[in-house]
Structure 1
């Protein structure tokens, strides 16, 4: 399980350090792709394969399924760590997530998320503001006891 929030800089060549704690869980190679809310999602290969199996069940006759799969897979890339624990992020993914110098790498259950720091701060502030209401809604859906 991934958890925690780390701040690192992306360099001009698109290289970003992934925290040691996350590297250990991702092994030597993982998949990075477009995420939701303007961030990038990173999955271990085993989790990626599980996700692939689920997505293959979506009906190709539905436009929304085709669009989602296309968008999700088209920019996906396998990432390997260099000796300094960095990955090289493609320009397509950098542009999608609007990554500037300051980035946040967050652990979120079964994946990591890579955010531009300004977008992360804005999303975090909005989430904090609505946390109580969201907790109530989720509690009703899943019988959560937070």
Structure 2
């Protein structure tokens, strides 16, 4: 399980240090893809296979299903940890999430989210006021 918030820098080659708590095995591979809210989603390989299985059940005849799977899978790249605990994020993904130097890695249960630090701070500020309303709307989930 991924949880917590960590601030790191991306170097000029697109390499990002993954927090030690998120690394697990030193030969770990993450699948990194375009996420929602202009961030990147990073899944361990076993979680990615489960996401892939679920998305493969979406009906091909539904326009929204085709659009989402296209968006999600076309951006996916396997990123293997190097000896320093870094992954190399491809340029198109760096561009999509506006990742330049400072970024935030957020643990969100079965995935990591990688955010531009400024966008993350803005997102937190914007959603802090509505957090109680959001929680209230999720009461059907017995949280």
TM-score, structure 1 length as denominator? 0.94
Distance in structure 1 (CA, Å) of the matches to 2:80 and 2:27: 9
Task: Assess if the C-alpha contact under 8 Å between 2:26 and 2:83 holds in 1.
Answer: no
Matched residue, 2:142: 143
1:82 deviation in Å? 1.1
Q: Which structure 1 segments of 5+ residues have no match? A: none
The corresponding residue for 2:28 is: 28
Residue in structure 1 matched with residue 63 of structure 2 by the alignment: 63
Q: Aligned-residue CA RMSD in angstroms?
A: 1.3
Helix, strand or coil for the counterpart of 1:43? strand
Counterpart Cα distance in 2 of 1:123 and 1:27: 33
Contact kept in structure 2, 1:26 and 1:43, CA below 8 Å: no
Name the CA distance, whole Å, in 1 between partners of 2:25 and 2:114.
Answer: 16
How far, CA to CA, are the matches of 2:26 and 2:103 in structure 1? 19
Q: Which runs of 4+ in 1 moved over 3 A?
A: none
Q: Measure how far apart 1:27 and its partner are.
A: 5.7
Structure 1 pair 118–26 and aligned structure 2 pair: CA distance change class (3 A):
farther
- Superposed CA deviations along residues 3-31 of structure 1, whole A, max 9, x for unmatched, are 00000000111011000100117961110
CA distance in 2, matches of 1:136, 1:98: 32
Aligned length: 143
Q: Which residue of 1 aligns with 2:101?
A: 101
**1:135 to partner: Cα distance:** 1.2
2:46 counterpart residue number: 46
Deviation per CA, 1:97-129, whole angstroms, max 9, x where unpaired?
Answer: 011210000000110000000000011111211
